[in-house]
Amino acid sequence: MPLFAALTYEELNSLERDETVVLVPTGCTEQQGPHLSVDFDTWFAAELCEAVAERLESRGVVALVLPTTPFGPTPEHRGYGGYVNLRQDTFERLLEDVLESLIAQGFRRFVIWRGCGGHRLSELAHRFNAAHTGAARVWVPDHPYNEVWCALADPDVPGGHADSFATSIALARHRERVRPDRVPPPSEATPDFADSAADWSLVSATGVVGDPTRASAEPASASGHKPSSGPPRSSSASQWKPSNSLRGTGPDRRAKAVDPPRRGSRRRPARRT
């Protein structure tokens, strides 16, 4: 699976660039509760794209993974610290420059994988595709995280941010980035996901949205976290019993309850890393 940064310019120039699918992962540096490292969105996006590239190549599609951008818009986390925020226009201009650089080298097919669910890139994709009709195209897919969780674990476990889904992925892939003794109790607060200017610290004391205590490496390992294929069809929630090992191990701090909807509710996004 070719990594753009691991190749020489001659090797890159030798690719059939107009047939190569270029995966552009965007990460984020922001709080992920007191129990996960602030680079979760970045390494998760990178490893997802690498897994997708391997799947594409197994099907005869040439794929190339760009280095992951570690920063993006994250103003909602300013109340916690541990963040690097880019203005939306800065973020979009950065990605536009990346895409234009690649077009100038003959690449034509792009997928932007958003490491953070709060990254709003639909307008950028629309502008780009309109400006390059017939010459190049970019796709910004939706996240399948809620569907993966509901297929492999308990759909009734509420989620949103730094929840059991994210914690399970971290336990399976980078356990050294998890602080088990800092896993907080479930947060019953729900910030306004649609308001990019909201300060989440006003509604969630720990930064968590949902329940992080039902995490286990087992469902994350079973899914392989490859968004191109989704969860294994043989998997079901009944085949996996959530681990209780993370319950009651972290700080007992709760935000004010606001009657959160359950995972899968249409009232708010069910999973946002």
Domain regions of the chain by residue span = 16-139, 145-239
CATH class of 16-139: alpha beta
The distance between the two most distant Cα atoms of the chain, rounded to a whole number of Å, is 57
The pLDDT assigned to 189 comes to 80
The pLDDT assigned to 131 comes to 97
The pLDDT assigned to 1 comes to 62
Instruction: Please name the residues in contact with 265: beta carbons below 8 A apart, sequence gap of 6 or more.
Output: none
Regarding pTM above 0.85, the answer is no
For residue 122, count CB atoms less than 10 angstroms from its CB and return exposed for 0-12, middle for 13-18, buried for 19 or more. Answer: exposed
Q: From CA 236, how far away is CA 101, in angstroms rounded?
A: 43
The pLDDT assigned to 219 comes to 65
Q: Would you put residue 162 in left (φ > 0), alpha (ψ -120 to 50) or beta? A: left
Instruction: Please name the residues in contact with 81: beta carbons below 8 A apart, sequence gap of 6 or more.
Output: 31
| Local confidence pLDDT in tens for the 273 residues of the chain | 689 999 999 999 999 999 999 999 999 999 999 999 999 999 999 999 999 999 999 999 999 999 999 999 999 999 999 999 999 999 999 999 999 999 999 999 999 999 998 899 999 999 999 999 999 999 999 999 999 999 989 999 999 999 999 999 999 999 999 999 999 999 988 898 888 889 999 999 999 999 999 999 886 565 554 433 332 222 222 232 334 445 544 443 333 333 333 333 333 445 566
